[in-house]
């Protein structure tokens, strides 16, 4: 495991301490968890803005495409694809 030394403000430390207490974990674990969740949030924002494909999102989240779709659905995030794009995809599948 790598070690990174960073300076955190009072607010960041407060978040880490609160999460550590909630999860009955040490602060290092809480900090890693916040980084993982922040990364997920970043990827989801990129997807919502159309800057990341669904397959790239699934890869970044380290989950199968079907689970990524379910995950987005649970968050209420709609696909940036238009209905016409969906129909084009269906037509392509018929060719194969």
pLDDT digits (tens, 9 = 90+) for 66-86: 888 889 989 998 766 667 766
Residue 57's closest CA among 66, 81, 76, 74? 66
Angle (CA) 83 85 88, round 5°: 115
Both tokens of 30, joined, read 């809480």
How high is the pLDDT of residue 79? Answer: 66
How high is the pLDDT of residue 56? Answer: 94
How high is the pLDDT of residue 40? Answer: 96
How high is the pLDDT of residue 78? Answer: 75
Collect the ranges in the chain with pLDDT lower than 50: none
């Amino acid at each position: 495991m790598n070690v990174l030394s960073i300076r955190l403000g009072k607010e960041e430390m407060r978040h880490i301490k609160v999460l550590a207490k909630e999860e009955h974990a040490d602060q290092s674990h809480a900090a890693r968890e916040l980084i993982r969740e922040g990364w997920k949030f970043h990827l989801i924002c990129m997807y919502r803005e159309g800057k990341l494909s669904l397959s790239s999102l699934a890869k970044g989240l380290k989950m199968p495409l079907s689970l990524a779709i379910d995950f987005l659905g649970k968050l209420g995030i709609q696909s940036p694809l238009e209905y016409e794009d969906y129909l084009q995809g269906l037509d392509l599948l018929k060719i194969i």
